[in-house]
Amino acid sequence: MNVVITRMDAWTAAGRGVERLLDAVCVGRPLQRELGGFPAPIAALPEEVDVTTLLREVVAGVLPTAGAGRVGLVVGTTSGAISGGFEAWMRRGAKPAEELRWRSAPALAVAGALGLAPVTTVSVACASSTLAFEIGAAWIRGGRCDRVIVAGVDKHSLYIHAGFAGLGALGPTGSRPFSVDRDGLLLGEGAAAFLLEPAACALSAPLAALLGAATSQDAYHLTAPRPDGAGLARAIQRALAIAALDSSEIDAVSAHGTGTVLNDAAEAQALITAFGGAVPLHAIKGVVGHCLGAAGAVEAAVVIAALNGAPLPAPPVTALLATRQPGEVRHAISVSAAFGGLNAAVVFGRVGAGHSPAAPGREAVGGVPLPEASTPRSTELSRFRARKLPLSTVWPGAPAALGRADRYVRAGVRLCRDVAPHLQFDDLIVLRSARDCRSADLRYFSGVLARGFAGSSRLHFPYTVPGAPLAEGSIAAGLRHAAWVLCDADDAAVDPAALLRGAGYRRVVLLRVDAASDDPARFAIASATLYE
């Protein structure tokens, strides 16, 4: 079943709507401004709005017409509601209710208000909303719902700013992706949303076809990219294979392009590996900032507009790789990389461009047809109590630095090591947790509350990523597989049968780590189950 994008909306530092976003990135003038009390400029929204309202507005902007059937919602975000909750805590001195700190809170609130179901929150840091496209398409192809709204959202906050400042990642004067004198990223905020529909029964005229998507893990470092870009190159190559396209057929490449020294260098190596010659490259984070979990969605809006005739920004001036100005855009790819070494890529095509990959896409990989829909066979690979996890039982000979990780991360590392002998190279790993890294959030932010920016710990901030267990686990077990992280209270959003049908994976390994509360001592059962 082919999937198309029929509606899109955005709200960024450029203002409300996709047109303002396009005007800003084509002019190329940074939208940064100084905000009192912050040590680096920010590409902030012109209006003051909370994260749930921001998400609700862009999702409402793409709602389908009557007769759409079951409409699901997949939201990619780095921080969800936690920033707003912690900011209120700082101002009022009272810890907010637990549910108001959940990463899934904005998605759940918007889905409830607009009658959308099923709903899930994807949180793999800065690759979240790029990965959300793969999940949305899988839901349609697997029969979970008739249509899906894919969105990305993140708001700037002291919580986020202090963390990146503590890592030394912020550009003191802004961001210059791929330039020789690049010295850091520009934080931004915003949201974008898209309506995905089956091509055969779309209710609106298609803007683009979703041709392929893929993820990979670096298995290298919790925050630093793999220098040779091999993980990102692998995600790009897999997405192209799923789309049944050669790299020479890609007319536009939307780069992750953070403007940091190491990330841009690694991404350049990945693009050289995947494309060989001059790359039709553009990067927009120097204008609208790095919108974190929303970045992939915002960048996808620019790519989809180009498939419909809108101009693209000029390629960056860079010595890192050869670039070229794109001509007519018929096929485009958007790429993202994230903390934890998770990479994502999604391929879009112009509708009517004469290309239609075999649905659900992965049939093209290896040429082996996927099995008919059936109840998958499940095998439990690991199960243990997560209340006491000394390093010696998690990873014998583990690096000393892992000693600062809480039980959530340690449980994930042990699960990855337990399942590694059972994995095949093309398996999908899904980590599902409702309370995920909230104990790390509390530990990190308590220092910021006490001492401001000086209290931001570069040791603790990287563990405020729900995918940290997979990041550390991939390093411990050498895993470079496709991987998703879902912040959900149960397995309904996973639905292994639908994933096996809709995403085209022949095997899915579901990791579960959860707790009864934010107290890290109360993490209960960790388990891993193989579905095939």
Q: Kindly report the CA angle at 451 between 447 and 457, in degrees rounded to 5? A: 40
Contact between 151 and 291 (Cβ < 8 Å): no
**CA distances in angstroms from 156 to 25, 420, 467, 477, listed in the order given:** 20, 37, 20, 34
Return d(Cα 129, Cα 112) in angstroms, integer: 20
Residue from 436, 443, 422 nearest 467 by CA: 436
From the list 156, 161, 282, 290, the catalytic residue is 290
Q: Tell the burial category of 63 from Cβ atoms under 10 Å away from its Cβ (0-12, 13-18, 19+).
A: middle
SS (H, E, C) 102-135: CCCHHHHHHHHHHCCCCEEEECCHHHHHHHHHHH
User: Which residues does 274 contact at the CB level (< 8 Å), separation at least 6?
Assistant: 233, 236, 237, 240, 247
Catalytic residue at 126?
A: yes
Return d(Cα 525, Cα 327) in angstroms, integer: 54
Beta strands, E only, 226-377: 252-254, 281-282, 331-337, 342-349
Return d(Cα 10, Cα 291) in angstroms, integer: 12
Give 71's strand partners. Answer: 147
Which tokens hold the place of 330? 């018929």
Give the number of residues written for the chain.
532
Contact between 467 and 342 (Cβ < 8 Å): yes
Beta strands, E only, 251-349: 252-254, 281-282, 331-337, 342-349
From the list 156, 161, 256, 460, the catalytic residue is 256
Q: Tell the burial category of 455 from Cβ atoms under 10 Å away from its Cβ (0-12, 13-18, 19+).
A: middle
Return d(Cα 364, Cα 137) in angstroms, integer: 16
Catalytic residue at 290?
A: yes
User: Which residues does 195 contact at the CB level (< 8 Å), separation at least 6?
Assistant: 5, 6, 7, 8, 62, 63, 64, 147, 148, 149, 204
Amino acid sitting at position 227: P
Residue from 248, 350, 344 nearest 306 by CA: 350
From the list 126, 145, 416, 487, the catalytic residue is 126
Helix H or strand E encompassing 383: strand 378-385
Q: How many CB atoms lie within 10 A of CB 302?
A: 27
User: Which residues does 510 contact at the CB level (< 8 Å), separation at least 6?
Assistant: 430, 432, 491, 494, 496, 528, 529, 531
Which residue numbers are catalytic?
A: 126, 256, 290
